[in-house]
Amino acid sequence: MVHPRHRLDDAFQTPVRFSLMAALGTRDEVDFRTLRELLESDDSTLSKAISHLERAGYVKVTKGYAGTRPRTRVTATAKGSSAFRTHVRALQEIASPASPTDSQELGWRLSSHSS
């Protein structure tokens, strides 16, 4: 069996990008200002994180105005949500304690020690 670390997605390797996808969750969209406050990030760091995930096809960015104020809204794409779920499951598998009764799930652990 293959170690779950091979299912980790490099797009989520920074704390801000990981937190951004977690914050988006299943929400329709979240505006930039709200994300900045939720993630306790500065504009530049958050903007770079959004751009990185947008290039990967994991988020969709919509720019517009609320009155005269510019607004940037961010939405997780289906591709991004799926990739994030896979990434989180891989982290959970890596971090979960070994259970001697679940040898199929832990095949990667057992096979890595038999070499």
Can you tell me the distance from the alpha carbon of 97 to that of 49, in angstroms, rounded to the nearest whole number?
A: 32
pLDDT at 99: 54
Mean per-residue pLDDT for 6-34?
94
Which has the minimum average pLDDT: 11-15, 25-29, 31-35, 90-94?
25-29
Decide if 29 contacts 62 (C-beta within 8 A).
Answer: yes
Distances (CA, A) of 54 to 11, 36, 67, 103, 111: 10, 17, 26, 38, 37
pLDDT at 112: 52
Enter the pTM of the model.
Answer: 0.81
pLDDT at 107: 55
Distance between the two ends of the chain, CA-based, in angstroms? 13
